Chain A
Amino acid sequence: MGAHISVPMYQRTVPQRYRLVANACTQCGAISFPPKATCPQCSVGREFTPVELKGTGVVYTYTVIAGGGAPPEFTAQARSRGRYPVVMVALDEGPKVVGQLVDCDPEDIRIGMRVRAVMRRIYVEEEVIRYGFKFRPA
């Protein structure tokens, strides 16, 4: 079962999905991504300055989605390639984010390898194209 994200919900996250806009806490300076209502670092900061992350970082950990393990919005993609890798990236600014890894065979993925964010279609639902970042080898 997939996690349905309504169009208005997706719309609200467009800056973070298109441009990696994160929050910098005005209290402690910590950068959080995706942006949260309260700073996850100091737990008191509620005011933030938006900052655009560079999208560069290293693979912290990864998995390969295969064998019917893809959520419904990704089944067409899984069928196209048989499998696809998902990575957790430790961004240079600190936050860890999850995204797909493209332009790379699963066998070539290494923990610690440099990656950078690229723009791709994430999936299409209700005939609305959901664009967002993925990662590729840097």
Chain B
Amino acid sequence: MAVGIIAYGTYVPRYRIRASEYVKALGSFAARGISEKTVPDFDEDTITMAREAARGLDLSGVLSLALATTVPPYDQKVLAGTLAEMLGLGPRIFATEHTSSDRCGTEALLASSRGLDGRGLVLVAGAPRGGVREETEHGAGAGAVALVIGEEDVFCEIEGWSAYVEEALGVDFRPAGADRRHDLGLGTYSRELMFHCVRQAVSDLMTKLGTEPGHYAFAVLPGGDGRTPAALGKGLGFEAERVRNPVATLGDLGPATVFFGLAEALAQARPGDRILLASYGAGSGSDAISLKVRSERGPVTSAVEDVEYLDFLSYLKMRRLL
């Protein structure tokens, strides 16, 4: 029996900042196509958000836990132990941690779904990092997604997947011990590496399954700004209307971005629909996953509904940048 999604939950912090606040304060906002983004409160991190994403989900029968984040609160420590305790799982569960690039979310999903025993919980969380003078910080939002996967009671199955990795230097990397991301600012070079990598993973997947772009109701595509996903879609044969990526209103959520796109697609999908999910990690790697919606979706939880907008000064204070 194919492994698939049984239930899912999402969490975004209550706070938001609009791009216009950056423009007012700094004169410009570097993240193209992002109109506003989510802001984690002073006391939130990827662990607390991952825990909140799973709130309300039925975790009975869960025997594995996979955590994916590029921004772990500790560089060295079993982080899954913290989450297992918070969620009342285990302690006799198999826990894995996936980090180091924005591809880590699909990596966690695929690693969990292979050789799955019972049900698995996949937690994918992203949060900003870096100083406000760095352009890579401007688009950074925060949020987390929780997926319960298994072989039974599945409403959306993993039909197939394909993975692609290669060496790619100098693009969106964080040196050892550093607190901020570097990008050598080689726009066209970075973009070509990304498009190449994702295109390979997606075309390998479609060749493997004998599918073509027309078979997919939705394409969830990576991209940390508001324009890349649509441009990527265009090159792959998906018009903008079918592309899902919530970066324009939530900000760049790191590995969680495509999972918020998946949540959006699942909310709109009908039984029988196919969804293409592709991730990208700079450096480089891409996983492409073909999902098929079998029935009306399972339980969905969305933790926080209310929103409060911050001015730039409050934002700096909340992010501990002032």
**Do A and B come from the same complex?**
yes
| Given A103-B14, A119-B51, A80 contacting B317 (CB threshold 8 A) | yes
Interface flag for B102 (CB, 8 Å): no
CB contacts under 8 Å to B, within A74-97, are: 76-77, 79-81
Whether the pair B43, A122 counts as a contact (CB closer than 8 A) is yes
Candidates A14, A52, A131; contact of B48 at CB < 8 Å: A131
B92 interfacial by beta-carbon distance below 8 Å = no
Q: Which 6 residue pairs across A and B have the least CB separation, nearest first?
A: A120-B43, A121-B43, A119-B51, A18-B86, A80-B42, A103-B14
**Chain B residues, CB < 8 A from A76:** 42, 320
Give bound CA distance, A127 to B275, whole Å.
Answer: 43
- Nearest Cβ on chain A to B243's Cβ, whole angstroms: 32
Q: Could you tell me if B88 and A102 are in contact, using CB atoms closer than 8 angstroms?
A: no
A121 with B45: in contact, given A80-B320, A81-B317 (CB under 8 Å)? yes
Contact for B88 among A19, A77, A81, A134, CB less than 8 A: A19
Q: Are B86 and A119 in contact (CB under 8 A)?
A: yes
| Residue of chain A at shortest CB distance from B74 | A129
Closest A residue to B13 by CB, please name it: A103
C-alpha spacing A137/B41, complex, angstroms: 15
**Contact B43–A77 (Cβ < 8 Å):** yes
- Residue B304 at the A interface, CB < 8 A? yes
For residue B306, which residues in chain A have a CB less than 8 angstroms away from its CB? Answer: 103, 137
Contact status A19-B85, CB under 8 Å: yes
Residues on B with beta carbons closer than 8 Å to the beta carbon of A14: 85
**Cα distance A119–B40 when bound, in Å?**
13
- Distance (whole angstroms) from the CB of A83 to the closest CB of chain B: 12
Is A119 a contact of B42 with CB atoms below 8 Å? no
- Can you offer 21 A-B residue contacts whose CB atoms are under 8 A? A15-B85, A18-B85, A76-B320, A77-B43, A80-B42, A80-B320, A81-B318, A103-B14, A103-B41, A118-B52, A119-B51, A119-B86, A120-B43, A120-B44, A121-B43, A121-B44, A121-B45, A122-B43, A131-B48, A131-B82, A137-B306
Please indicate the chain B residues that have their CB under 8 angstroms from the CB of A118 in the complex. 48, 52, 55
